[in-house]
Amino acid sequence: MAVSAVHLESDAFLVCMNHALSTEKEEVMGLCIGEVDTNRIVHIHSVIILRRSDKRKDRVEISPEQLSAASTEAEISFNFTHRLAEMTGRPVRVVGWYHSHPHITVWPSHVDVRTQAMYQMMDQGFVGLIFSCFIEDKNTKTGRVLYTCFQSVQAQKGSEYERIEIPIHVVPHEAIGKVCLESAVELPRILCQEEQDTYRRIHSLTHLDPITKIHNGSVFTKNLCSQMSAVSGPLLQWLEDRLEQNKQSIVELQKEKERLIQELASL
């Protein structure tokens, strides 16, 4: 087995959850950034939300070539922007992908397993994560969020790919990393860019009459409003709450620090 386990830092886990819970009508997707250690444990420090040019409800893969291009671009911009290599003293790279299964079982579909197998051809240690959400048992009113980690393996040459389970642990990380915060606030920007691209394509059609153009303009406005109220707004609220919580924690920690300094001085 190329990978023995996956350690997902809790702030990266937070961003994955944010992303997965952002929409229940489509599968969302992103890349996992981190490194693999000498014991073949994959450490994921943060994630990158991916733009999808083809938004289909039931499928979410991008081709290995696209993935490779996206990964390279992500790594270059990532390392450059965040100077992560400097901070950790080690190079970090794309080590896996994650996507969401809204209203669907957490297990990867045949397409997912095949897609994962393709990615593994480029990188044996590549792992796949799936987040299943918006599941509710109507009888017991129990909601569920699940997550799993897998790789693909071919039982025999020429046969279908199968999923193999990889242990995954969410590792505590008390403070939210800068990289994770920045990934989290990328979501509204990505959504807006996707909308703008779609609108531009429509807008370039010249044979539309004024009524249709006005209609399309309204659709754009409506969609952007949706994004702002469903994503940007709650995101901003959460950030403000977090800031407030941090400020309070800092005050309390300062008091504790002073108390400890005094205690140390008295020894």
Partner 1 sequence: MAASISGYTFSSVCYHSANSNSDHEGFLLGEVRQEETLSISDSQISSSEFLHIVEVHNHEPCAQLFSFYDYAGKVNEENLNRILKDRRKNVIGWYRFRRNTQQQMSFREQVIHKQLTNILGIPDLVFLLFSFISTANSSTHALEYVLFRPNRRYNQRISLSIPNLGNTSQQEYKVSSVPNTSKNYASVIKEHGAEFFDKDGVIKDIRAIFQVYSALQDKVQAVCAEVDQSERVKEKIQEEVKKLKEEISLRKRITAAEERRHQESLNTENHSLQDDSALSDSSSPPSLTRVLLQSPPLEVSLDWPPNSTALPLYPAAPAPPSAILLPRPQAVGSPGHPSPSLGLGNGDGSSSDSLNRQAIGQEDQLEEEEEEEEDEDEDSSEYENLVSERLQSPSLTDTAVSLGRPAALWPDGDTHSSGGSS
Phi and psi, residue 85, nearest 5°: -60, -40
**What's the closest the beta carbon of residue 12 comes to partner 1, in angstroms?**
10
**What's the closest the beta carbon of residue 65 comes to partner 1, in angstroms?**
24
State which of positions 162-201 bind partner 1 (CB under 8 A).
165-178, 181-182, 184-185, 188-189, 191-192, 194-195, 198-199
Other C-beta atoms closer than 10 Å to the C-beta of 235 total: 17
CB nearer to partner 1: give 54 or 156.
54
- The token duo for 132 is 């299943």
State which of positions 116-135 bind partner 1 (CB under 8 A).
132-135
Per CB under 8 A, the list member of 18, 71, 115, 120 interacting with partner 1 is 18
CB nearer to partner 1: give 159 or 204.
204
197: Cβ contacts below 8 Å, ≥ 6 apart: 53
Q: At what angle do helices 64-82 and 110-122 cross, to 10 degrees?
A: 60
Stretch binding partner 1 (CB under 8 A), from 68-76, 77-85, 152-160, 241-249: 241-249
Does the protein bind partner 1 through residue 261 (CB under 8 A)? Answer: yes
CB nearer to partner 1: give 118 or 202.
202
Beta carbons of 102 and 133 less than 8 angstroms apart: yes
Does the protein bind partner 1 through residue 257 (CB under 8 A)? Answer: yes
Does the protein bind partner 1 through residue 153 (CB under 8 A)? Answer: no
Per CB under 8 A, the list member of 150, 154, 158, 161 interacting with partner 1 is 150
Per CB under 8 A, the list member of 51, 55, 59, 114 interacting with partner 1 is 55
Does the protein bind partner 1 through residue 74 (CB under 8 A)? Answer: no
**What's the closest the beta carbon of residue 223 comes to partner 1, in angstroms?**
6
CB nearer to partner 1: give 32 or 191.
191
DSSP at 54 = S
Q: Which residue bears the tokens 């939300």?
A: 49
Residues 43, 208: Cα–Cα separation, whole Å: 51
Does the protein bind partner 1 through residue 91 (CB under 8 A)? Answer: no
The strand pair at 41-49 and 29-36 is best described as antiparallel
| Burial 44-57, CB ≥16 within 10 A → b, else e | bbbbbbbbbeeeee
CB nearer to partner 1: give 28 or 71.
28
Other C-beta atoms closer than 10 Å to the C-beta of 64 total: 17
**What's the closest the beta carbon of residue 42 comes to partner 1, in angstroms?**
11
Q: What angle do CA 108, 112, 117 make, to 5 degrees?
A: 115
Helix (H, G, I), strand (E, B) or coil at 34: strand
Does the protein bind partner 1 through residue 37 (CB under 8 A)? Answer: yes
